Structure 1
Amino acid sequence: MNKNIAMAGAGLSCAVIARGLAEKGHKVTIYEKRDHIAGNCHTERDKNTDVMVHVYGPHIFHTDDSEVWDYVNRFMDFKPYVNRVKATTGGRVFSLPINLHTINQFFNKTLSPSEAEEFIAQQADTSIVDPKSFEEQGMRLLGTELYKAFFHGYTLKQWGVNPKELPASILKRLPVRFNYNDNYFFHQYQGMPSEGYTEMVENILSHPDIQVKLNSEFSSSMVERFDHVFYSGPVDGYYDYDLGHLPYRTLDFEKSEESGDFQGCAVMNYCDESVPFTRITEHKHFSPWETHSKSICYKEYSRNCEPGDIPYYPITVVGGNDLLEQYLARTRNEKNITFVGRLGTYKYMDMDVTIRSALDVLEKWN
């Protein structure tokens, strides 16, 4: 039986689910409170420079999931892209993630891979047997000097939380390499959509049984109008924050137009706590197959999310979040609604994980 489905949000999660449902013959209406689709991975060309700008900060696609890779390439040609991050700390520039070049440069040595591995093992704080926090993981993995130089100050700025209170899992995602590989990611498939993420999402949503309503916010009072709802907005927002606001970090961007090549790379982290911003991103480098005489840069500042701000990163702390558990318990008792995506499930997810999760939800629902 064909059903009447509503989606709250026109980001990746709802776009993927909507497409799958429409192809099954269901009627889908998407409510998006912003004036554009694609959520926080929205891209658009700057009018003055023609640079493709990642409006809400850079999004780089990387995955080992071949099904997800084939899915996005079905709707947009992805061009190869390797994310090579640089970091400024103590007045010097290094490459991230920490690799053999970083280690040799930082300690003024010429170590071989095996020598570097042994050297870092000597730096590590072996008294920490089972790291629970971000700081413990950093000290156990890298030792004091590298941890303090590259992660302590940056993490304080990024999360607004002492690294002793953040879970170790955040740092476990970042590799340490004992070779000269400076690819920030290690996934098999890495790339960028040739014409940006917004056009890709537009292609996903291009189906006669999908209707998108921009500048239209979905509310819980609308659920009864539909056979089923997929909700990708903030889970606490669905309940009008009646138990309180869940903690998020949001980002402020200071945009500038520059001539030529401003910093020589796409991403430059600023690790010192004394520097108020976390990084500068230069957006033309995210499309290296294009040529531009001018450039667009974003200076990025992180702060606690206030009502009315765009939530970016859910804050997970050691010991859990009782408020989150209360909201999630309520969602499990809801009927005819599925909470999806980063905000709906209060989980930080990369784009490939978001798409995989959406495909899995789609398969189970059908």
Structure 2
Amino acid sequence: MGRYLMVGAGLSGAVIGRHLAESGHAVTVVDARDHIGGNCHTERDRDTGVMVHVYGPHIFHTDDAEVWDYVNGHATFLPYKNRVKTTARGEVFSLPVNLHTINQFFRTTMRPDEARAFITTQQADTSITAPRTFEEQALRFVGRELYEAFFKGYTMKQWGCHPSELPAAILKRLPLRFNYDDNYFFHRFQGMPEQGYTAMIANILDHPRITVRLKTVFDAAEAGAWEHVFWSGPLDGWFGYDLGRLGYRTLDFERFTHAGDYQGCAVMNYGATDIPYTRITEHKHFAPWEDHEGSVCYREFSRAAAPGDIPYYPIRQVAEKALLQAYVTRAEATRGVTFVGRLGTYRYLDMDVTIREALDSARGFLACLARGAAPPAFFQPPL
């Protein structure tokens, strides 16, 4: 049986490592941090008892039944619906934009068919037939008033540029509903692990053939000591950033506590550009089955990532894609390493997709071993 290294003790490393261990292989998982779980890490606040999402909130939602069964095999998931609120014009509205939002915003009492006709004929810019930018996508489907109230300022703060500079794909399918459904996600499986994500990942890593080493920095020069390495760190980091750094947005969190209920919901967005933060998250509301008198909140600020910052959101604009192509070419010529996860493939991935790709990568890797083929650098190509 082989000896394999997972660099990173987040979802990718844990899931791939567990799959290989269950197939009889010896697996070592290393992480530079002093905890497992990566950016999904959760921990109890000592003073309030609140389960805190240390690197920002993570809400599990998926249509992938196998992934849902997988996480439920390692944790007890309890129902959770993400109901986001936002401030605009001195009022609080529901997101995504739904019939309640539309009626409140325009001071109307329209029925679904009336609201649909109103947005289509009086708000949406139907002259835009093939939206190319984020702004055009929003104007085409909701019109200028709703765009400027709920999307423009928030996007400028989140991405550090005007929405006209961002591709339409970032908005993807515009969340617009002509009913009163305020559930932010539309996936059929939604929930939160009762004891937090770190406990779930600890259960995934709990296998006799898995060894975990924290506070351990791995250098690519050490790869030869292992039969194969799975790298979930930054793709450019494997090469020492020698072609330049791929662009990311990072987040700063201003943590504060409150004796009571601070905002009455888990997520409150602030789209106005004169407010420097994008949102406030109140973490006890991510576990509505618990009861806590005190509260832990985060004000969330987005900015360009610098060396040493935690990379959160890959930018993937024209310059980054050119640099990414150069790194992908080098990676594909490298033997003995497979790049996985959000950072390893320079793509924004939800948790369920991360787990799906980790399972597929582990199975693909074992299939390569079975037929004596060299494992590829990417089971999920970044481009």
Q: Please give the per-residue CA displacement for 1:61-112, whole angstroms capped at 9, x wherever unaligned.
A: 0000000000000000000000000001121110000000000000111110
Structure 1 position 201, deviation (Å): 0.2
Per-residue CA shift, 1:283-329, capped at 9, x if unaligned? 00000000000000000000000000111110122686211111111
Matching residue of 2:293: 293
Q: Distance in 2 between matches of 1:319 and 1:112?
A: 46
Gap runs ≥5 in structure 2: 367-383
- 1:49 — aligned with what? 48
Pairing of 1:340-355 with structure 2 (within 5 A)? 340-355=340-355
Displacement of 1:161 = 2.0
Would the alpha carbon gap of residues 174 and 43 (structure 1) be closer, same or farther in structure 2, given more than 3 Å must change? farther
**Match runs of 1:199-278 below 5 Å:** 199-278=199-278
Structure 1 residues 136, 182: CA separation in 2 closer, same or farther (over 3 Å shift)? same
Structure 2 Cα separation of the partners of residues 344 and 174 of structure 1: 28
CA contact (8 A) 1:253 1:300 kept: yes
State the partner residue of 1:96. Answer: 95
1:321 match: secondary structure: helix
d(CA) in 1 for partners of 2:318, 2:283: 35
**Would you say how many aligned residue pairs link Structure 1 and Structure 2?**
365
Aligned-pair identity in percent equals 63
Match for 2:72: what amino acid? N
Deviation of 1:217 after TM superposition, in Å, equals 1.4
State the alpha-carbon separation in 1 of the partners of residues 172 and 107 from structure 2: 26
Q: Deviations over 1:244-266 (max 9, x none)?
A: 11100110001011011100000
1:105 aligned counterpart, secondary structure = helix
TM-score by length of 2: 0.94
SS class of match (2:288) = coil
1:167–1:318 Cα contact (<8 Å) kept: no
Of residues 172-181 and 342-351 in structure 1, the stretch that sits farther from structure 2 once superposed is 172-181
- Could you tell me whether the CA contact under 8 Å between 2:9 and 2:29 is conserved in 1? yes
**Residues 108 and 188 of structure 1: CA distance in aligned 2, closer, same or farther (over 3 Å):** same
Distance 1:66 1:173 in 2: 22
- Per the TM alignment, residue 15 of structure 1 is displaced from its structure 2 partner at its CA by 0.5
The CA deviation at 1:10 is: 0.4
Q: What is the distance in 1 between the residues matched to 2:222 and 2:19?
A: 22
Q: Which residue of 2 aligns with 1:58?
A: 57
Tell me the alpha carbon deviations over residues 321-350 of structure 1, each in whole angstroms, 9 at most, x when there is no partner. 211111111111111210000000000000
1:219 and 1:140 map into 2 onto residues whose CA distance is: 48
Q: Which runs of 5+ in 1 are unaligned?
A: none
CA–CA distance in 1 between the matches of 2:320 and 2:217?
30
2:76 aligns with 77
- CA distance in 2: counterparts of 1:18 and 1:230, whole angstroms: 9
Distance 1:322 1:163 in 2: 21
- 1:318 and 1:189 map into 2 onto residues whose CA distance is 35
Deviation digits for residues 227-257 of structure 1 (CA, Å, limit 9, x no counterpart):
1110000001111110111100110001011
Q: Is 1:178 paired with 2:186?
A: no
Superposed CA offset, 1:155-178 (max 9, x none): 010011221121212212442100
Give, as a single letter, the amino acid of the residue that structure 1 aligns with 2:116: E
Kept in 1: contact 2:62–2:188 (CA 8 A) = yes
Residue matched to 1:29: 28
Query: Helix, strand or coil for the counterpart of 1:280?
Result: strand
Of the structure 1 ranges 313-322 and 343-352, higher mean CA displacement relative to structure 2 is found in 313-322
TM superposition score normalised by structure 1: 0.98
Q: Matches of 2:177 and 2:43 in 1, distance apart?
A: 35
5 Å matches for 1:80-159? 80-122=79-121, 123-159=123-159
One-letter identity of the residue aligned with 1:61: F
Moved over 6 A (4+): none
Displacement after TM superposition at 1:127 (Å): 1.3
SS for the counterpart of 1:252 is strand
Which amino acid is the alignment partner of residue 79 of structure 1? L
| RMSD (CA atoms) | 0.9
CA distance 1:259–1:174, shift in 2 (3 Å) = farther
